[in-house]
Amino acid sequence: MKVLVIGKGGREHTIAWKVKESTVVKEVFIAPGNVGMEEIGTLINISEENIEALANFAEQKKIDLTIVGPESVLALGVVDEFEKRGLKIFGPTAAAAEIESSKDFAKKLMKRYNVPTGAYETFEDLTLAKQYIKKNGVPIVIKEDGLKAGKGVTVAFSKDEAIEALEMAFSIPGNKVVIEEYLDGFEFSIIALTNGKIVIPLEVAQDHKRAYDNDKGPNTGGMGVYSPVDKIDSKIIDETVEKILKPMALGMVQDGIPFKGFLFGGIMLTKDGVKTIEFNARFGDPEAEGILPRLKSDFVKAILDLMEEKEIQLEWDKRYTVAIVMASENYPKTSTIGVEIEIPKDLNSLVFHMGTRKSSGKLETNGGRVLSVVSYGETLEEAREKAYSDVKKIKCEKMFFRNDIGSKMCYNNKNK
C-alpha cells in the first residue's frame, strides 16, 4: 500500500521511518518532509498547510492511508477535506482538534466529562486577569489560548512574572488567556491511538520543556525525552487511561465530535492522583522520537486495525530510549538558518531531522529545533551515555543541547 505522511519535523521523520518498516507498505510519501527523510520515502513539494493540494495529490497517487503530524494542519481541517473525498486519513477533524487549538475549549470538555484537571478561569480582559492573579497568588500557570507550537505557557512563581506574561499575551489583538491552578508533582506524557471508542495507550515518556539544564529558561517545544518512565507503573497508566483518556474520548463521541488519531495527554501525578495538564491532538515531538523506536509491532497495521474497530495488542522493546534535541543558538527566541552541520557516519544513535536543509550539498540548520539524537540502552543511564556520546560528535557552531535529559530519573533510581 501507499502511505502519505504530512509534516516536516522530527515527529514526522520518526513516523515515516516507522511506517517504512511496515510489511504492508510499499511506498512512503512525505509532504513536504525534510532532507533527513530522503532515504525513507519520496519528498513531495507541497506545503503541509496546502490542504487542497495535498488531497489532490492523495487522489492522483491513490494513497491508501495518510497520517497527519502537525497540529496546525489538523486545526485547518485536513482530515475534513480528505474524508469529504473518501480518502483514508488518521487524525482528528478540525472540530475534534480544538482540544489543542483552544485551551479554553479543552478545559470546558474536561469539566463536562469529569476529567481531573486543575481549576481555571478564562480571560479576554487584561485588567480582570491581573485582578485574578492578585487574588489567587502564585505559583500559577498562564496559557495563551490558541496554538503556540508547545510554547505560549508561563509557569509563574512571582506576581511580577505572571503580570509580565499577561501583558505579553494581551499585546496580541484578540488573544484569550487561560489561567490555571499550578499542579505540583511528577509530569509525564502519554499518547493513545484511538478511533473514539477504543483507546490504546502507548508507552509513556517524560519530556523536558525548559530550554536549559536544571529546568531553567523559557518553555520550548521540548528539549528531549526518555522512555519508559519507571516511576509511572502499570497501575498509574491504568488510572490515567480510565480517568482521563477514555472519558475524554467517549465524551467527545457523545458530543458528536469523535476524536480519531493520536490523543496526547500531558499528565501530572499529584498527591491526589493523576490530573490533566493539557491535551494535544497529535503525536508529541520529541515524544515520537523516544516512543516509536521502542514499538516492535507493525505501526501501520495497528492504525488500520484500529480504524476498522479491531482490538489491538502492541509489543514493545524493553530497552530504554533517550532522545536529545539539538537546537539553534538562542532558541526558542530565535532560529538559526544556514549554519553548517557535520554528522559523522559512524554514530550508533538514530538521528531524526527536525529543522535542516541542504545548500550546495551541505547540511545546514533551518529552524529552532534542528536534530533529535536517539539511543537505546539496557538501562536509562546506558541510553543517556550513548546518546550524549553521539551528540558531542555532531559539529555545528550554532547549536546547543541540555546536558541533563533523564538525569533526575537516573539519580532517583540510584537512590531508591
Residue 368 is predicted with a pLDDT of 96
Distance CA 116, CA 113 (A): 9
Residue 152 is predicted with a pLDDT of 74
Examine the domain organization and report whether 191 and 303 are in the same domain.
yes
Among the listed residues 153, 226, 141, the one whose alpha carbon sits nearest the alpha carbon of residue 189: 226
Examine the domain organization and report whether 177 and 191 are in the same domain.
no
Greatest alpha-carbon span in the chain: 60
Could you say which residues of the chain have pLDDT below 70? Answer: 148-151, 409-416
**Domain of 175, in residue numbers:** 119-181
In a domain, 355, yes or no: yes
Contact at 8 Å (CB) between 19 and 81? Answer: no
Examine the domain organization and report whether 337 and 407 are in the same domain.
yes
Distance CA 39, CA 359 (A): 18
Q: How many residues does the chain have?
A: 416
Residue 207 is predicted with a pLDDT of 96
Four-residue CA torsion sign, 67, 348, 327, 278:
positive
| DSSP designation for 86 | T
Q: How many CA atoms lie within 13 A of 394 on its CB side?
A: 32
Helices (H), 265-329: 287-291, 299-307
Residue 380 is predicted with a pLDDT of 97
Q: Interhelix angle for 126-136 vs 159-170, to 10°? A: 160
Please tell me the total count of domains within the chain: 4
Helix (H, G, I), strand (E, B) or coil at 66: strand
Residue 148 is predicted with a pLDDT of 60
In a domain, 78, yes or no: yes
Examine the domain organization and report whether 166 and 192 are in the same domain.
no
Last residue of a domain, one of 307, 338, 355: 307
The residue with cell 550546495 is 360
In a domain, 75, yes or no: yes
Residue 179 is predicted with a pLDDT of 95
User: CATH number, domain at 210?
Assistant: 3.30.470.20
